[in-house]
């Protein structure tokens, strides 16, 4: 997560953006049985986005935000 925070701060994003990105990444990790994101491929990301769309009824803008965070 330190690398994520560093990258967001390097891009001069707001603290709320940082917080939101970290939150989505944590949810992604938990959804995938707490595996490190580098161990997962495109299929895991697609599965998580599908879950958000079908089970949590996330909007397309939310899904885009999650994809950017991941």
Assign residue 20 the CATH number of its domain: 1.10.150.130
Tens of pLDDT, residue by residue over 11-67, are 898 999 999 999 999 999 999 999 998 899 999 999 999 999 999 999 999 999 999
Structural domain of 11: 2-69
Tell me the whole-structure pTM to 2 decimals: 0.87
pLDDT reading at 1 higher than 90: no
> Which CA distances in Å does 31 have to 7, 14, 35, 62?
23, 26, 9, 17
Alpha-carbon gap, residue 38 to 16, rounded angstroms: 24
- The structural domain count of the chain equals 1
Residue 69 has pLDDT above 90, yes or no: yes
């Amino acid at each position: 997560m330190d690398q994520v925070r560093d990258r967001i701060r390097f891009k001069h994003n707001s603290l709320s953006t940082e917080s939101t990105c970290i939150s989505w990444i944590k949810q992604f990790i938990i959804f995938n049985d707490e595996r490190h994101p580098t161990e997962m491929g495109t299929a895991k990301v697609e599965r998580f986005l599908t879950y958000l769309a079908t089970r949590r009824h996330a909007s397309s803008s939310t899904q885009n935000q999650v994809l950017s965070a991941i």
